[in-house]
Amino acid sequence: MIVKCAIHLILLGWAVSVFWLASQDALGADPVKAIIHFYGIGALNLLVLTLVISPAARKFKLSVLMRQRRLIGLYCFAYACMHIICYWWLELNFSPASFVDELVKRPYIWLGMLGFVILLTLAATSPHKAKLRLGRRWQTVHNFIYLASILVWLHFFLSRKADILEPGLYALTILLLLSFRYRKLQRWYKNRPK
C-alpha cells in the first residue's frame, strides 16, 4: 500500500511538474517540443522499467516489486496518452489535415501509433477480470510488450535526426532485457495456444 502510494505520488507529481515548469517559463525556447519530449521519454522510461521489474524481482527475491508492475505499466500508458494528446493539441491544434500531413512527412509516427495500439491493448486487458476471461491467451497478448518496446525504440531513434548516443543506450538496455526473455519466449512459442 505504501509503495503504491509512493508510486502514485512520484509519477503523478512528475507528470504535472512539466505544466508548472511551463507556467514558470522554464522549458526553454520551444516549450511545446519540451512537453512532447517530456511525456515521450517518460513513457519510454516507464516501458523499460516494466521490463526491468521481473528479472530484478526474481534475482533479488522481491515479490513486492513484482506487484507494482501493472501500476507502472498503466502509468506508461498514461504518459504515452499525454505525449499524443499534447502533440495533437499543442503542435497540430487538433487538425486532422495536419495530422495526415505529418504521417506523410514523418513516417516514424506510424511506428509510434503501432506501439501505442499495443500499449492500449495491454492496458485494456490488465484488469484481473480480463485476465480470467482470456485464460492462457492473456500471456500471449502480454508478450506483445516486447514488440512494443522495439517499435517505440525505433520511433524514438528515427525521431532523433542526429543523436546516436541516447537511442544507442536505450537500444542496449532493451536488447539486454529482451535477451533475459529468450528462453521464456522460446518455451511460449512451442506451447503457444493454437
Residues near ligand HEM, by CB under 6 A: 33, 36-37, 40-41, 43-44, 47, 80, 83-84, 87, 109, 112-113, 115-116, 119, 152, 155-156, 159-160
Separation between Cα atoms, residue 167 and residue 165, nearest integer Å? 6
Between residues 3 and 100, which has the closer beta carbon with respect to ligand HEM? 100
The x, y and z cell numbers of residue 120, run together, are: 492500449
> What crossing angle do the helices spanning 165-179 and 144-159 adopt, rounded to 10°?
170
Of the two residues 52 and 188, which places its CB atom closer to ligand HEM in the complex?
Answer: 52
Rounded to the nearest whole angstrom, what is the least distance from the CB of residue 36 to ligand HEM in the complex?
5
- Per-residue HEC secondary structure of 71-95 comes to HHHHHHHHHHHHHHHHHHHHHCCCC
- CB of residue 183 to ligand HEM, shortest distance in Å: 26
8 Å CB contact between 92 and 42 = no
Tell me the closest approach of the beta carbon of residue 186 to ligand HEM, in angstroms: 26
**Residue 194 DSSP label:** -
Beta strand ranges found along 5-147 (DSSP E): none
Q: State the nearest-atom distance from the C-beta of 45 to ligand HEM, in Å.
A: 9
In the chain, count H helices and then E strands. 11, 0
Q: Shortest approach of ligand HEM to residue 43 CB, angstroms?
A: 3
Cβ distance to ligand HEM smaller for residue 83 or 122: 83
Q: What is the DSSP letter of 161?
A: S
Closer residue to ligand HEM (CB): 49 or 188: 49
| Closer Cβ to ligand HEM, 88 or 188, answer by number | 88
